[in-house]
Amino acid sequence: MHDRIRATAGNNPLVSLMEPVDGRLRPLTRRNTKWSEPLAEHRGLHEAITPGDRQSARVHALPHVRATTTRPCGISSARTA
């Protein structure tokens, strides 16, 4: 989903910033068992970005980014390979 959001946004600095982060998160997100909240946030972002509504995208993006640092995501504490 992050790939599609970045491509739609057309924001090269965002793409450069998120690519390494996404690579590190991918193994963890595969193990996530609680997807409802992040998926709803991603849908809102995509719906704002697609028509180019920057203000709405910002309104959706900031809480999503903040939530990723505080939300329990259902990932077990076992280390990834």
Three-state DSSP state, 16: helix
Per-residue confidence (pLDDT) for residue 79, from 0 to 100: 44
- DSSP state letters, 14-40: HHHHHHHHHHHHHHHHTT-S--HHHHH
Tell me how many helices (H) and strands (E) the chain has.
4, 0
Q: Are 29 and 67 in contact (CB under 8 A)?
A: no
Residue by residue, pLDDT tens for the chain (81 residues) are 677 777 777 778 877 877 787 777 777 666 666 777 888 888 888 898 888 888 998 898 888 888 877 776 554 444 444
Cβ atoms of 1 and 43 closer than 8 Å:
no
